[in-house]
A and B are shown apart, each in its own frame.
Chain A
Amino acid sequence: MTEVNLTRLWLARFIFVAIGVSFVLWQIIPFDLTAGRLPWPDLFYCLTMAYVVRRPEWAPVWGIFLAFFLRDILTMAPLGLFTLAIVLGSEVVRVNVQAFREYSFALEWLWMTAIFAIIIVSQHIILGLMLAQTPRFVEQLWLVLLTAIAYPATVFVLKYAFGFSRPQPGEYDGLGNRI
């Protein structure tokens, strides 16, 4: 074990939540209020998943919960449903993080797209079963497609602008454990 810089760790966690909140605020800026326009890709999902693979200790589950629950509240989405899905999804990745780090990037990309598609489809099915209003399925398909396209871009920005690379075996993570 090496010495852990606690200030740095908590600062990084705080920054993650702050980025999440600013993404949410960006999402609700009234640019164009016509119905049926193309949805924005879910960049915050991409960011969260990229964090969980590269720096899981900087994206703690309570941070993910806080930011996504705030998003559910502000965007008039069903309360708690997407948050539940993303908490489960990010836990699946977190538990198998070693495997995800050994995958090639294409495989990681495929997995993240698959997880997002599963989240969206199961959300649609649950809302349908509960007889709640569902958004139009075509729009949801566009959302999945655009998010899939946005994932490599997010990872690229994180890697080359902010230096997030996948930890190599033998490095220490933010909690001071050897990987």
Chain B
Amino acid sequence: MSVSNDNEVYFRRSLRRVFIAILCICLFAIFLVWRIDNPRAERFRMAVIDRIMPNVEWAMAPVTRASRMLSDFQSYSRIYEQNQELRRELQQMKAWREAAIQLEQENARLLDLNNVKLNPELTYTTGVVLTDAGSPFRQSSLINIGRRDGVKDGWAAMDGLGLVGRVSGVGENTSRVLFLTDSSSRIPVEVAPSGQRAILAGDNSPLPPLEFVDTVDQVRAGDRVFTTGDGGVFPPGLLAGTVFIGGDGRLRVKLSADYRRLEFLRIIRFRPTAPIAEPGRLVGPTLPTDANQ
């Protein structure tokens, strides 16, 4: 009795060992596939997330809401100072608003005089932030609009004020926005008054550095950073942030978007203008070709 029992225990133990070995080999194979055929693996991941997220949204929404309320509640303790601060800012803003209205009117008049056509295709669609990446591997988040709503890879995402990132990975009902702070994000930008071109390169820190600046001397702290249309990915002229000189003397960008309280994201619909592929031709009647001679 005891011998057969021992045999059985031994058998089960070796069966288990084989199972664990197979599991480990499968996991390592999955990791290798992820590394070798990354786009396909990421598409698989996006498809899985697309299936899961709409089903658990109802469970997460109250928790998200409650935690936001809690963090808002914490700020009640400073409500008096905040109120004073807001009043002062409002006063300043009123002055700016007056100036902006005057400038807008002047601008409209001038545009009208010159008969300028602005790009009418720059419309946007808005999505709600569902999740955070939750790990230090990626700075990104999931939003609740996807292919169904016409979202395409590469479109720019903004909060009310500044650029947040770009769409990278679209599912049927959800899509992923890769932030400017992610270490694989590279955006061509222009620094405002001096017109210097540069690349805004994310490095997983809250203040991404500016790289490949034409003339570093002409860039000052506080200059505004906009996207350029270079590469045909982003529409030109979206505000990204202001220049900031880091402790190590590198030029960095203080992003205008408030990443601490991202709740809604604007996805900018953008179709780049048709590229001019060939040089201009002679206008006139078609000439007889050489074959007819």
A87 on interface, CB distance cutoff 8 Å: yes
Q: Which residues of A are found within 8 Å of B31, using beta-carbon distances?
A: 78-81, 84
B48 on interface, CB distance cutoff 8 Å: yes
* Residue of chain A at shortest CB distance from B260: A32
The residue that B131 contacts in the complex, of A29, A130, A132, with Cβ under 8 A, is: A29
Q: Which residues of B are found within 8 Å of A135, using beta-carbon distances?
A: 135-137, 204
Size of interface on B: residues with Cβ below 8 Å to A? 49
A28 touches B206 (CB 8 A): no
A74 on interface, CB distance cutoff 8 Å: yes
Residues B70-97 near A (CB distance < 8 A): 71
B111 on interface, CB distance cutoff 8 Å: no
Complex interface bits, B15-47 against A, C-beta within 8 A gives 1, otherwise 0: 000011001100110110111000001000100
Q: Which residues of B are found within 8 Å of A33, using beta-carbon distances?
A: 129, 132, 139, 141, 179, 259-260, 262
Q: How far does the Cβ of B252 sit from chain A's closest Cβ, in whole Å?
A: 12
Once A29-B60, A80-B30 are accepted as A-B contacts, the answer to whether A133 and B179 lie under 8 Å apart by CB is: no
B135 touches A30 (CB 8 A): no
Q: Which residues of A are found within 8 Å of B48, using beta-carbon distances?
A: 73
Bound CA–CA A69/B30 (angstroms): 11
A76 touches B137 (CB 8 A): yes
A133 touches B34 (CB 8 A): no
Residues B230-276 near A (CB distance < 8 A): 259-260, 262
The residue that B67 contacts in the complex, of A28, A31, A87, with Cβ under 8 A, is: A31
B133 on interface, CB distance cutoff 8 Å: yes
Q: Which residues of A are found within 8 Å of B137, using beta-carbon distances?
A: 75-78, 133, 135
* Residue of chain B at shortest CB distance from A136: B204
Residues A121-167 near B (CB distance < 8 A): 130, 132-133, 135-136, 139-140, 143
B194 on interface, CB distance cutoff 8 Å: no
B167 on interface, CB distance cutoff 8 Å: no
B27 touches A80 (CB 8 A): yes
Complex interface bits, A62-83 against B, C-beta within 8 A gives 1, otherwise 0: 0001000100011111111101
A35 touches B23 (CB 8 A): no
A5 on interface, CB distance cutoff 8 Å: no
Q: How far does the Cβ of A93 sit from chain B's closest Cβ, in whole Å?
A: 13
A136 touches B136 (CB 8 A): yes
B24 touches A87 (CB 8 A): yes
B20 touches A79 (CB 8 A): no
B196 on interface, CB distance cutoff 8 Å: no
A99 on interface, CB distance cutoff 8 Å: no
A36 on interface, CB distance cutoff 8 Å: yes
Bound CA–CA A33/B133 (angstroms): 9
Q: How far does the Cβ of A105 sit from chain B's closest Cβ, in whole Å?
A: 27
A84 touches B139 (CB 8 A): no
Bound CA–CA A136/B141 (angstroms): 19
Q: Which residues of A are found within 8 Å of B260, using beta-carbon distances?
A: 32-34
A35 touches B139 (CB 8 A): yes
B49 on interface, CB distance cutoff 8 Å: yes
B7 on interface, CB distance cutoff 8 Å: no
Complex interface bits, B192-209 against A, C-beta within 8 A gives 1, otherwise 0: 000000000010111000
A25 on interface, CB distance cutoff 8 Å: yes
Bound CA–CA A49/B130 (angstroms): 30
Q: How far does the Cβ of A67 sit from chain B's closest Cβ, in whole Å?
A: 13
B131 touches A74 (CB 8 A): yes
B122 on interface, CB distance cutoff 8 Å: no
Q: Which residues of A are found within 8 Å of B202, using beta-carbon distances?
A: 35
* Residue of chain A at shortest CB distance from B135: A75
Q: Which residues of A are found within 8 Å of B101, using beta-carbon distances?
A: none
Bound CA–CA A26/B56 (angstroms): 11
Q: Which residues of A are found within 8 Å of B45, using beta-carbon distances?
A: 73, 76, 79
Q: Which B positions have Cβ atoms within 8 angstroms of A?
A: 19-20, 23-24, 27-28, 30-31, 33-35, 41, 45, 48-49, 52, 56, 59-60, 63-64, 67, 71, 129-142, 179, 181-184, 202, 204-206, 259-260, 262
A-B contact pairs, 14 of them (CB 8 A): A25-B60, A28-B132, A31-B71, A33-B262, A35-B179, A36-B206, A73-B48, A74-B131, A75-B134, A78-B31, A84-B28, A87-B23, A135-B137, A136-B204
**Can you list the 10 inter-chain pairs with the closest CB atoms, starting with the nearest?**
A135-B136, A35-B181, A80-B30, A75-B135, A28-B131, A28-B134, A76-B138, A84-B27, A79-B34, A27-B134
Q: A30-B129, A91-B20 are in contact. List 5 more A-B contacts (CB 8 A).
A: A75-B133, A75-B135, A80-B31, A135-B135, A143-B136
